[in-house]
């Protein structure tokens, strides 16, 4: 085992805050009944905790508590937002960004196969949405638009307010997956024109297995499940009270610390990219150079696989994430060939010299010493991998 433990994979999961853990422990040790059992004090106490948690979630995004429902996480919330809305609104077409999470992309593909009109909105080489293409599409028919606040693989932050304005001007409904943005970006669903919004606990120093969906006034959704009348009948089943408490506390902490976390992470990631760009050959930033998530540094190195970088970094005690085909669980049509990242393909990363990207994503527990360590070890790792790379050997021979 490596001596160090440097966790630079906060885009996939953050470690829970101690105050979140304490709130969960208090809830676990409380005598809580079923929140639907309003006839006795144990049920009333559980329902009160749910209401308080919804209030904290709502405050974070500028919403009302009654517009919040709890889910098992972002994937369920995204499925409910897309399939639930499209099921309740059969006259609507669907527009999604081409670099969305697969919980959205795969729904869009299925709907297109089922005969619904679907647009996969193009992005430029920095990952920014083609808003002219989007506006032309939403003018044609009633539309549900799903474009995330930011992309987890390349860090690009979309012009959310402009997207919301386009949707409002043409009567479209806007769903925004804010999973990776909610702990560093100020969100007001009213000002931004967002009608549906996804959140996830484990991406903002909360627990796993809990998420939330904001549902704006007048937005109709079909439930994906059969059951009782919990969560206004949209998400039936006994609520995860303890998880909701943790998510509520995480949202409360994010609201209080948003500016501090954002500024500190921006400074750390700026130093990280500066150091890597000056010392690592053949390195290319992915995503927008300026409009990107604080703490997010994503790149690819010519002639080197993202998975190989991950493995050697892990041997040095550094944990990161790769957007490479080798580290995904996606299969080709023959179930043997791994397919390339749809995000890298969409932003024009050349497949002949790029075998994957790397994302180093920092969180509130990281520090400058860890950043400097990664800057120091990365050049040696890249040099070692280049020496073993057939692609690099071919490149050097052609240069000669």
Environment class of residue 51 by beta-carbon count within 10 Å: exposed (0-12), middle (13-18) or buried (19+)?
middle
Q: List the one residue out of 247, 259, 201 whose CA is nearest residue 56.
A: 247
For residue 238, how far is the Cα from the chain centroid? 26
Q: What is the torsional sign of CA 212, 217, 223, 229?
A: positive
Q: Assess whether 326 carries a catalytic annotation.
A: yes
Token pair belonging to 128: 């920014």
Q: Which of 167, 251, 326, 354 is catalytic?
A: 326
- Residue whose structure tokens are 């897309």: 82
Q: What is the torsional sign of CA 231, 236, 241, 246?
A: negative
Token pair belonging to 389: 């790379």
Distance separating alpha carbons of residues 108 and 116, to the nearest angstrom: 9
Distance separating alpha carbons of residues 68 and 256, to the nearest angstrom: 20
User: Phi and psi for 249 in degrees, rounded to 5?
Assistant: -65, -40
Strand partners, 97: 121
Establish how many alpha carbons lie within 13 A of residue 251's alpha carbon, considering only the half-sphere containing its beta carbon: 30
Distance separating alpha carbons of residues 399 and 397, to the nearest angstrom: 5
Q: List the one residue out of 306, 399, 320, 313 whose CA is nearest residue 353.
A: 306
- Residues serving a catalytic function are 326
């Amino acid at each position: 085992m490596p001596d160090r433990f440097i966790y630079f994979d906060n885009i996939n999961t953050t470690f829970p805050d101690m105050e979140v853990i304490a709130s969960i422990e208090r809830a676990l040790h409380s005598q809580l009944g079923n929140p639907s059992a309003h006839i006795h004090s144990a049920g009333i106490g559980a329902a009160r905790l749910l209401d308080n948690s919804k209030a904290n979630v709502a405050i974070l995004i500028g919403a009302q508590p009654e517009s919040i429902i709890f889910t098992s996480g972002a994937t369920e919330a995204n499925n409910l937002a897309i399939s639930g809305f499209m099921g309740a609104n059969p006259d609507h077409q669907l527009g999604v960004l081409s670099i969305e999470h697969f919980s959205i992309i795969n729904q869009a593909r299925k709907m297109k196969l089922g005969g619904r009109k679907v647009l996969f909105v193009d992005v430029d080489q920095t990952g920014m949405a083609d808003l002219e293409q989007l506006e032309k599409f939403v003018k044609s028919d009633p539309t549900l638009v799903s474009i995330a606040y930011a992309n987890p693989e390349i860090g690009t932050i979309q012009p959310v307010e402009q997207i919301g304005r386009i949707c409002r001007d043409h009567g479209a409904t806007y769903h925004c997956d804010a999973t990776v943005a909610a702990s560093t970006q100020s969100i007001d669903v009213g000002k931004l024109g967002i009608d549906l919004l996804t959140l996830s606990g484990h991406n903002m120093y909360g627990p796993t297995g809990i998420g939330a969906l904001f549902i704006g006034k007048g937005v109709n959704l079909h439930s994906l499940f059969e059951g009782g009348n919990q969560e206004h009948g949209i998400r039936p089943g006994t609520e995860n009270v303890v998880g909701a408490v943790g998510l509520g506390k995480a949202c409360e902490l994010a609201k209080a610390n948003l500016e501090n976390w954002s500024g500190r992470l921006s400074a750390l990631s700026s130093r990280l990219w500066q150091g890597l760009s000056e010392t690592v050959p053949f390195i290319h930033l992915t995503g927008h150079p300026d409009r990107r998530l604080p703490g997010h540094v994503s790149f690819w190195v010519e002639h080197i696989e993202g998975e190989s970088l991950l493995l050697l970094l892990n041997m040095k005690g550094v944990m990161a994430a790769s957007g490479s085909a080798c580290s995904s669980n996606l299969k080709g049509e023959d179930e043997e060939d791994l397919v390339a990242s749809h995000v890298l393909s969409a932003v024009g990363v050349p497949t002949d010299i790029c075998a994957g990207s790397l994302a180093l994503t920092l969180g509130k527990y990281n520090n400058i010493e860890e950043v400097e360590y990664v800057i120091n070890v990365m050049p040696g790792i890249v040099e070692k991998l280049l020496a073993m790379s057939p692609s690099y050997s071919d490149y050097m021979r052609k240069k000669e």
